[in-house]
Chains A and B, each alone.
Chain A
Amino acid sequence: GQNIDQPTEMTATEGAIVQINCTYQTSGFNGLFWYQQHAGEAPTFLSYNVLDGLEEKGRFSSFLSRSKGYSYLLLKELQMKDSASYLCAVEALTGGGNKLTFGTGTQLKVEL
Chain B
Amino acid sequence: NAGVTQTPKFRVLKTGQSMTLLCAQDMNHEYMYWYRQDPGMGLRLIHYSVGEGTTAKGEVPDGYNVSRLKKQNFLLGLESAAPSQTSVYFCASTRDRVYNEQFFGPGTRLTVL
A residues adjacent to B (C-beta < 8 A): 30-31, 33, 41-45, 48, 87, 89, 91, 96-105
Contact B42 A105, beta carbon cutoff 8 Å: yes
Partner of A99, one of B45, B90, B105, B106: B45
Q: Report if B22 contacts A (CB, 8 A).
A: no
Rank and list the top 10 A-B pairs by shortest CB-CB distance, nearest first: A42-B104, A104-B42, A102-B43, A102-B42, A98-B100, A97-B97, A96-B56, A97-B50, A98-B97, A45-B101
With CB as the reference atom, state the residue of chain A lying closest to B43.
A102
In the bound complex, residues from chain B placing their C-beta under 8 Å from that of A98 are 97, 100
A103 to B59, alpha carbons, bound, how many Å? 14
In the bound complex, residues from chain A placing their C-beta under 8 Å from that of B58 are 99
A interface secondary structure, majority: strand
A43 to B43, alpha carbons, bound, how many Å? 10
A-B pair count, CB < 8 Å, reads 51
In the bound complex, residues from chain A placing their C-beta under 8 Å from that of B50 are 96-97
Given A89-B43, A97-B50: 8 more A-B contacts, CB < 8 Å: A33-B100, A43-B102, A44-B104, A45-B102, A99-B45, A100-B102, A102-B43, A104-B42
Contact B42 A99, beta carbon cutoff 8 Å: no
With CB as the reference atom, state the residue of chain A lying closest to B4.
A42
The proximity string for B residues 92-113 relative to A, scoring 1 for CB distances below 8 Å and 0 otherwise, is: 0000010011111111000000
With CB as the reference atom, state the residue of chain A lying closest to B42.
A104
Contact B106 A43, beta carbon cutoff 8 Å: no
Given contacts A97-B31, A99-B45, A102-B42, contact A42 B106 (CB under 8 A): yes
The proximity string for B residues 31-67 relative to A, scoring 1 for CB distances below 8 Å and 0 otherwise, is: 1000100001111110010100000101100000000
- Distance to closest chain A CB from B94 (angstroms): 8
Contact B100 A43, beta carbon cutoff 8 Å: no
A33 to B104, alpha carbons, bound, how many Å? 14
- Distance to closest chain B CB from A51 (angstroms): 14
